[in-house]
Chain A
Amino acid sequence: MKEKPAVVYIVDDDAGVRSSIRLLLRSVGIAATPLASAQEFLAQYDPAQPGCLVLDIRMPAMSGMELQQQLNLRGAIIPVIFITGHGDVPMAVEAMQHGAFDFLQKPFRDQDLIDRIQKALARDRDNRAALQKHDGIRASLASLTPREREVLELLTQGMQNKVMAAKLDLSQRTVEIHRAHVMEKMGANSVAQLVRMVLDTKEA
């Protein structure tokens, strides 16, 4: 599956600020989409689109904090960098507690913003890769038959084929066939890798 290119969304009701951030990012080769309001962002929000969100904390109608809440309710993973004014520190702290990636106070140094955006994009890539891996494992798990699931469960407990055959009241040959199917469907090369996959999905 091919990754979509990442997009930096700049949501700020101030036209000057958002256009200047777009041009700044363009100068370092980062594509950005400027948007004038939280509603505009939500209207075109696509959870599958990789990227990050540069968000003004104070906006009329729907503030940056409210947009963050909305995104949290939807289980969004997009990293959010808040842009705050002087004296908005208590709000910024609250935003961080609600899972913001970082915040910057206006006016900020260009390099600080660029660094944070690059870190946020890297974080988003990692998160998406991990999620995709989990999604893949989940899909593989779902493709197992009930019997194969039983075999997988016992395998990951480190049970020998012979013991398993007795426990499941199957021939050792049948257990071996189920085991081969499990390894194939899960795309695992070893029992150790299988164990890792199962643990990953349980953590996620």
Chain B
Amino acid sequence: MDAAVDAVILLDHTGHIQAINRAGEELFGWPAGELAGSNINVLMPEPDRSAHDAYLARYLRTRESHIIGMGRELKAQRRDGSVFPAHVSVGLVAGAEPPQFVGFIRDMTAHHEHIADVKEEARRSVDQLMHVSRMATMGEMAAGIAHELNQPLTAIANYARASERFLGRPEPELDDVREAVREIANEALRAGAIIRRLRQLVRGGDEAREITAVDSLIEELRLLTLADARMHDTAIRFDLHGDTPGVSVHATQITQALLNLIRNAVESAAAGNPPGAREVLVRSRRSVAGDCEIGVCDNGAGVSPEIRDRMFEPFLTTKKRGTGLGLPMSRTIAEAHGGSLRHEPCQPRGACFILTLPRAEAVA
């Protein structure tokens, strides 16, 4: 018995310790020999400590066991009062009457810490993966974003040069200069807005869940997605109903899922149509069930039947430089928010992805 690593305890039918191995005494922090004869309940925290005699009495009366023969995780208490998680399994000593019990107790502290570590590590990995995926998306959009920043810069340079010329005249046209200066300020703010939206996308993404209107998240994406669509000669139409219910979300994650879906749609529309005929529709509405539903549809070639069942699997991509993470990550995000992401073919052609998020009242 002393060779065992786990605590081994022999109890009589009144719950008093008849024998305990050395590992058991050490586990509970008792000096050798002091536990023998004590009620087992000294090894338990409240409320079990006060209730244990009654549990035992009930067993003796009914012979219905709540622990015997099945292992359970319970709280155990050391001599110094500290509580730790313990795995307890109890067996009957064969042939003894009145019954005797033998208990095996294992300290689960390290196991719990390990699980917490693993969970934390997994959470960090998912966060990192999301970050990487977000960065990859941003990289794919870089050309469009550069173009979008070039627009206000071009305008600012033109306005400034025009002002210089107006002011250089013998009788300067101050009205024209005023117009130019006002527009320079507007264009600088526009460039700032693009950079702010970029920052929102690349920030850590560890903000808390907040009740948010999905339409405002889509509005935040409008500028960048239009820039990307322009590079693909694709027209994006936004059909936002404004009556969608508030949703409790991590804004960065939902934004990322939406960005993935819109970028996929733009690429599909561009790959499947000549310029001028490429269309993407982003719409939001309140579903029949009262939840928030966002549809991202394109008029591309649609999802081929061979990959329809597997498109949400990671690392499956049909793009030349895709990571294969966009759709699975978007679905993971949707499900982590209690929602869903599903695909529907579009009529007459193309694909539609529908992201559903439960309304905030339903979550709370």
Contacts and interface: CB of A to CB of B under 8 A. Distances in A.
Interface of A: 14, 16-17, 19-21, 23-24, 26-28, 58, 60-63, 65-66, 85-87, 106-108, 110
- Residue of B143, B179, B230 most packed against chain A (CB within 10 A): B230
Given A23-B162, A27-B162, A106-B150, A17 B155 contact: yes
Q: Is the interface of B mostly helix, strand, loop or mixed?
A: helix
B150 to A, nearest CB: 5
A9 B121 CA distance: 60
Contact of A85 (B150, B186, B190): B150
- The size bracket of the interface on B is 20 to 34
B83 to A, nearest CB: 64
Interface in B129-177: 143, 146-147, 150-159, 161-163, 165-166, 176
Interface of B: 143, 146-147, 150-159, 161-163, 165-166, 176, 179-180, 183, 186-187, 190, 229-231, 233-235, 275-276
Contacts of A63: 233, 275-276
- Residue of A26, A28, A66, A87 most packed against chain B (CB within 10 A): A26
A23 B230 contact: no
A63 B165 CA distance: 32
B154 A66 contact: no
Given A63-B275, A87-B143, A27 B161 contact: yes
B150 A58 contact: no
CB-CB nearest 8 A-B residue pairs: A20-B158, A27-B165, A16-B155, A110-B161, A20-B155, A107-B154, A27-B162, A85-B147
Given A17-B155, A20-B155, A106-B150, A27 B176 contact: yes
A130 to B, nearest CB: 33
A118 B151 CA distance: 23
A27 B159 CA distance: 10
A16 B146 contact: no
Given A16-B187, A26-B162, A60 B235 contact: yes
Contacts of A17: 151, 154-155, 158
B158 A58 contact: no
B275 A86 contact: no
Contacts of B165: 27-28
Contacts of B155: 14, 16-17, 19-20
Given A24-B161, A60-B230, A60-B235, A106 B179 contact: no
